Structure 1
Amino acid sequence: MEALDTDAAAPETAPVRPEAGGAPSFSVAVTAATALALYRPRTLKCQDSFAVLDHFGDMQALHPTAEGLFHADTRYLSRLALRIGNERPLLLSSSVSEDNALLSVNLTNPDMVPCGTTQLPRDTLYLRRVMALGEGVLRERLTLRNFGSVEVACELALGYAADFADIFEVRGGRRPRRGESLPPEATEEGGAVLGYRGLDGVTRRTRLDFVPRPDAHRLGSEARWTLRLPPGGQQVIEIVIRCSAGAEAAPPPPEAPTLEALISGHRAWSERRQRETAHFHTSNESFNDWVNRSRADLDMLTTDTPEGPFPYAGIPWFSSPFGRDSLITALQCLWLDPGLARGVLRFLAARQATGFDPERDAEPGKILHEMRGGEMAALGEVPFGLYYGSVDSTPLFVMLAAAYWDRTGDLALIRALWPNIEAALGWMERHGDRDGDGFLEYHRLSSKGLVNQGWKDSHDAIFHADGSTPEGPIALVEVQAYAYAAWSGAARLAAALGRKAQARSFAERAATLRRRFEEAFWCEDLGTYALALDGAKRPCRVRSSNAGHALLVGIAAPERAARVAATLLDRDSFSGWGVRTIARGEARYNPMSYHNGSVWPHDNGLIALGLARYGLREPLVRLLGALFDAALFADLKRLPELYCGFERRAGEGPTGYPVACLPQAWASAAAFAVLGAMLGIGFDPAHRQLRFVRPVLPPWLEVVRLYNLRLGAAAVDVRLNRHAGDNDVALNVLRRRGRIEVAVIT
């Protein structure tokens, strides 16, 4: 039985999300006006477009949230509101399909007076809205049917508007000046074109087309249809919304893919992704629901690029390329989907910095942090058009490249990426290690950039035990772990390429870093590693989840790994829903804080992989159970970007964070990280071997079947069974295609 929570209650007003520190000229924090965790919007995404709608299928109907149709970091439609007469319909149900291909909303009429004095009883009209999204196009089919015994006469109204707000404006930023809103234009077909000429010289337009054409149209504001439906009668209205941009963009043409084409295109993409990856089924249907939703969300967030599939970070705030997020997402999914890692590596290599640009925090060899395509990024009002302000993306790039090689044996890609890998290692040596002590540190160069440049990048995330802010440059604990993995991984890659001298040099650097890391970061009295070292090399003696990342890569001494795990899973750090970012009792602990007491699924996924590396099965099972339980309470079993770190209460789910992204790529990928950790999946391409190292299944997961586990051209299907009454797991090969061996290592 869970103990009662002793933390303070959450306030009604959600805290502002602090993403950037100091006082840049433009704040990039997300303003919390509505708690998305409770509001649970409906989301669709295709390539560089996404839509956020409420449960009615409307945009901006009730709250000043991120609702709307977005394309390339601009909101092309800020309002789409359906009314019967002047009344909002009653909601019957609303759901996004399991594969995220469409939104289906079922509505009916409230009690109302549709015409004259004739009373229309409630539940007479049935309205079904079906929406699907393509790149730059949203299509809706609205079907109305009269289930009454007499003819229904009423008006159907669709209000619309476009504010062409940059995503950073939607997030709460205020601009001193905006571009010019253009007068609405009527189309020959009875539709409308809304336009905006930005300060960047780009004209953005939204075209709305209606079939049949409206009976009345207040241009730029509302379309109305007069309906007369006999008993059993039906009316269908098609709505097409298209986005375009250019120096002097003409209105987008009325032609657009049909609703069925958009849905089938999305499903064809998902089916292709499924054929390229492993998939699985378990004896626990709720667990299956979680991983299936996670798979569908990850497919939706993944965008086709010339370099291959690339997962965008999350909706609504981060539907764009992020280096760190994509690298960690690909790492968590590597065992079942190495193609995602391949796409991520090629995409980031193509955008690796080659020169110095302080305003973008760019230095030669550095890997991208964030990439944006909106007006404010183009004008430099925010530095994120092509921004390099992260200390961890570069070692993570090398780390993922080595892990990809270990997984696939694909030497051709490693050979092609070797110049980029060498450049990344050069950045780590010359620019990342600012004082030559062997540790990677960060210190921002851009006046508008991020002050803290690890994954906990809010302004208050790094602190000393007394709560004071450390002076930089800052060396984070997890970044040293990534650097160790990068140097040791680069040694393996160099050896595979026949570069023996480089291999020895890189291996020596890794060994030296590991020794110095233990000396500088270990805090014996805390039973864990320090959060960071400040510019004077004083440790930030704070218990944090960051220390768990030291287990991920094996930099932690084996005798200390168990102590770190015990600290992470004690009552101060483990909320019952996962490991908190900061332990209860630390100076800045706040369970509602973005980075100082909340729980992040991806953070826990990486910790789970670390626990598996050291064979720490009991804490691994506890952690897996916590994340699974949290997913059971989540809408659609979709784990958000983060949730609050309040202690678990019996019969209640985790407390939501007000502006968490839903879905978020690395939160979705956490499901696969914990499953891979639990099964201990590993690969040995040189010996054509698939390995299960110390696999463990919790009591509520008796059978796991894995299909299409690939190693080169070969593939295998296996079944793992938990023995009743003990922790042993038996494995059976169900099907084998090509030359591949399967081994269980206990």
Structure 2
Amino acid sequence: MVETVRAPAHPTASAAPSDDEHLPQYHIEAQTSLVERPLRSLKHGDAFAVLDSYGDIGVFPGPEGLYFQDTRFLSRLELTVEGQRPLLLGSVIQDDNGALSVDLTTPDIRLDAGDETSIPREIIALERTKFLFRGTCYDRIGLRNYDTKPRHLRVAVTFDADFRDLFEVRGTNRTERGRRSVEVSGPAEVTFRYVGLDARSRTTRMHFGPRPARLEPNRAEFEVRLAAGGRASVFVRAVCDTVDLSREGVAVAAVGSALPPTSAAYPKPRRDDGHPKGEGMAFALAYRDARRDLRAATDGITTIESSNDQFNEAACRATADLYMLASRTPQGIYPYAGIPWYSTVFGRDGIITAMMTLWIDPNIAKGVLRHLAATQATTIDPAADAQPGKILHETRNGEMAILGEVPFRLYYGTIDATPLFVMLAGQYYEQTGDRATIAEIWPNVLAALAWIDRYGDRDGDGFVEYARETDKGLANQGWKDSHDSIFHADGRMAHGPIALCEVQGYVYAAKRGAAKLALALGDAALSERLKAESERLRQAFDAAFFLPEIGTYALALDGEKRPCAVRSSNAGHALFTGIAFPERAESVAAVLMSRDGFNGWGVRTIAVGEARYNPMSYHNGSIWPHDNALVALGLARYGLKAEAARVFEGQHGASLYQEGRRLPELFCGFIQRKQRGPTNYPVACSPQAWAAAAPFAFLAACLGLELRHDRNRIRFRDPILPAFLDDVLIRNLRLGGSRVDLLLHRHGPDVTVNVLRRSGDAQVVLLK
């Protein structure tokens, strides 16, 4: 994602750093590995939490925190009983990602030094439930006494709020910050406030129930009396608010949020009697509505059930992750990229996620298209790397972005989001026939096409290239945006403007898709022009990029049009988009699936033996599930179903070694070893939207699934199922007004399709 290097003296002269630059500018600092301690993630809207297994925050150094609008609103939250941390019994995110459930018990406790154990361990059970809703973190700590006599305990919560910008948490240093304060603002309330250099006041309000026996600016202590067999609860509520002081105190809502202000969402606890009823009610109401919100988000989507329980778990986790990451915007739902570092709108990630889930839920694609159309660049702004028609790369709302210390407030430094946007529009219309949405965004599609030709093709050679416009921006602007990800066969960094292999494929597919849209909207002349342009690009691409000596397409062309003769997964995207000539497909597939390319778990980003191959790198030898999903779709497109199934099997096997069967953002590219899972990457995001979408793309690739509204047809083209799947039940598959339930069964190499339920007149076709 966001990794680059310190800028050269003339940023527009070279799109990649010189060979002696090594320190990424927006590097994610990794003094500790996210693999060391299992972390738990929750998200709702623009708030997300990274917690340890206890449900605590900041007990050890790391990315833990409660974040809101790219700022850490809570940097410490630790639960203790009689001054000791409880013993962990179990910790799990609920299946739908709705809440974190933690089971704890008290350790052996000595109340006075030298005394015998006053409270034996395992006498008191603690059950902790945490969830997020509308910018608020809710925490219920339930206690139960299993002893035959009453017990009296001191339960304490220690807390703090550092209001660090997300980029500071990631490792970026700042020389100046705003003013921070904290006060005990009521008998059961503490307020942290930070007035930033961006003229915004950010507050974290801590509410407690019952009224604490002692309340200090960083600590709340409760006297809990439990009868024999008795129960009690302690509630903690952290409310995040942001106020723009330059707008006379008008609250700044979460990006795209149409929800009511957080602090007014639910009743505050009564302060006069110290009874937990007020906070308990707030917890119960929010928990109820959060569950309803989750159910509503997934109502009516296509679901999958198979003969393999482990794949079912993976599919359920993937679905839950997608809808946890999805946030509401005025234009529809948008899948935020990932937790913890990318919980915001990313153009490329959102588009690819929408492509892979189009057959599951076309509403995701609709929301992505409409939101990116609404944020499309309309002016030239070098600081944001923007030109008219360009599609957003990412947006941030933290202090550093607002001040311009990082360029990501509205940042357009991506070469591929614009053609991908047009490509998605074509795919969306082909499946849904939603003419109203296409008509709404058609001016944006035309603007994107104009950007491709005018600004994307910098030298008029027919290829789309990138070179950053600001020294604060990303040096490499494809999906492999690490500072060292684009290089020549001898390891030298490529200097730009750089034309990436996969981007030419995206442009080809974009123009092919836009030609169909133009025809549907009555512009036959534009349709013919776009088809002709796409064919010229295809011919030129083959001539410039295909390298017989390596048997595949070049990674990129540098600024002097010299090919980067490097075997990479990028070539698989040429298959995915259809720009590859049919006669090239088997050769490209052979390289991808060779021992150097495929490690047993998946296709490496860079093949073994290339100059900068490193299985532990971010982009130069690692394995990304979304990349493999696009490769599998590409293989299937050219009839290479066995190879696609092999990739699917590898990725499914990798998921079995992940907690919750969740595919992470990426993992290391070491060769598969017997009786061992894949090697984790130390700072991979998990969950990650396009990784969560990958299982649905793998299945669609193997089944050859095609949905065409114009033909009212659901087609399975030469379907195959991998060895770990005997049956697949697809429920509520939608095409126009039709709904069908289908059972697919594997008979050796063959697959049969049975229609179990049909509503509407859509045809189901099996084509061998």
Equivalent positions of 1:511-530 (< 5 A) are: 511-530=535-554
1:160 partner amino acid: F
Q: Which runs of 5+ in 2 are unaligned?
A: 10-23, 252-261, 269-280
The residue aligned with 1:561 is: 585
SS at 1:493's partner residue? Answer: helix
The residue aligned with 1:45 is: 43
The residue aligned with 1:112 is: 109
The structure 2 residue matched to 1:298, chosen from 311, 322, 325, is 322
2:215 partner amino acid: H
Q: What displacement does 1:151 show?
A: 2.8
Q: Does 1:75 align with 2:72?
A: yes
The residue aligned with 1:240 is: 237
Contact 1:477 1:532 in 2 (8 A): yes
SS at 2:656's partner residue? Answer: helix
The structure 2 residue matched to 1:345, chosen from 344, 348, 369, is 369
Q: Does 1:19 align with 2:31?
A: no
Q: Which runs of 5+ in 1 are unaligned?
A: 1-16
Percent sequence identity over aligned pairs: 51
The structure 2 residue matched to 1:649, chosen from 667, 673, 683, is 673
SS at 1:55's partner residue? Answer: coil
Q: Does 1:669 align with 2:688?
A: no
| Larger displacement relative to structure 2 (252-261 or 308-317) | 252-261
The residue aligned with 1:332 is: 356
The residue aligned with 1:212 is: 210
The residue aligned with 2:282 is: 258
Contact 1:575 1:647 in 2 (8 A): yes
The structure 2 residue matched to 1:704, chosen from 700, 720, 728, is 728
SS at 1:194's partner residue? Answer: strand
Q: What displacement does 1:24 show?
A: 8.2
The residue aligned with 2:201 is: 203
Equivalent positions of 1:555-594 (< 5 A) are: 555-594=579-618
The alignment's TM-score, normalised by the length of structure 1, stands at: 0.95
Cα distance in 2, alignment partners of residues 129 and 462 from structure 1: 47
Deviations 1:126-171 (A, max 9, x none): 1111011012101111111111233323311110000000010011
Deviations 1:683-709 (A, max 9, x none): 121221111111101222111111111
Contact 1:115 1:153 in 2 (8 A): no
Cα distance in 1, alignment partners of residues 25 and 263 from structure 2: 34
The residue aligned with 1:322 is: 346
Contact 1:22 1:459 in 2 (8 A): no
Contact 2:184 2:215 in 1 (8 A): no
Cα distance in 1, alignment partners of residues 32 and 284 from structure 2: 34
Q: Does 1:534 align with 2:558?
A: yes
Cα distance in 2, alignment partners of residues 581 and 21 from structure 1: 20
Equivalent positions of 1:401-480 (< 5 A) are: 401-480=425-504
Q: What displacement does 1:252 show?
A: 4.8
The residue aligned with 1:743 is: 765
Contact 1:190 1:214 in 2 (8 A): yes
Residue-pair matches, total = 725
Cα distance in 1, alignment partners of residues 617 and 481 from structure 2: 12
Q: What displacement does 1:621 show?
A: 1.2
Cα distance in 1, alignment partners of residues 674 and 290 from structure 2: 40
2:583 partner amino acid: E
CA-atom RMSD in angstroms: 1.6
SS at 1:513's partner residue? Answer: helix
Equivalent positions of 1:33-432 (< 5 A) are: 33-62=31-60, 64-114=61-111, 117=115, 119-182=118-181, 184-219=182-217, 221-248=218-245, 252=263, 255=267, 258-432=282-456
Cα distance in 1, alignment partners of residues 141 and 35 from structure 2: 28
Q: What displacement does 1:408 show?
A: 1.0
Contact 1:391 1:454 in 2 (8 A): yes
Contact 1:717 1:733 in 2 (8 A): yes
Contact 1:132 1:259 in 2 (8 A): no
Q: Does 1:484 align with 2:508?
A: yes
Deviations 1:5-40 (A, max 9, x none): xxxxxxxxxxxx971123489932110122113423
Q: What displacement does 1:115 show?
A: 5.8
Deviations 1:31-58 (A, max 9, x none): 0122113423101100000011000000
The residue aligned with 2:712 is: 688
Deviations 1:563-604 (A, max 9, x none): 111111111111111111000110000000000010000000
Cα distance in 1, alignment partners of residues 744 and 593 from structure 2: 27
Deviations 1:202-241 (A, max 9, x none): 111100111111111222x111112332321222111111
Contact 1:409 1:685 in 2 (8 A): yes
The alignment's TM-score, normalised by the length of structure 2, stands at: 0.92
Contact 2:430 2:710 in 1 (8 A): no
2:53 partner amino acid: H
Q: What displacement does 1:247 show?
A: 3.3
Cα distance in 2, alignment partners of residues 535 and 729 from structure 1: 48
| Larger displacement relative to structure 2 (449-458 or 31-40) | 31-40
Cα distance in 1, alignment partners of residues 312 and 703 from structure 2: 16
Cα distance in 1, alignment partners of residues 111 and 219 from structure 2: 18
Q: What displacement does 1:258 show?
A: 2.9
Cα distance in 1, alignment partners of residues 380 and 460 from structure 2: 20
The residue aligned with 1:11 is: none
Cα distance in 1, alignment partners of residues 290 and 579 from structure 2: 42
The residue aligned with 1:28 is: 26
Distance 1:579 1:187, change over 3 A: same
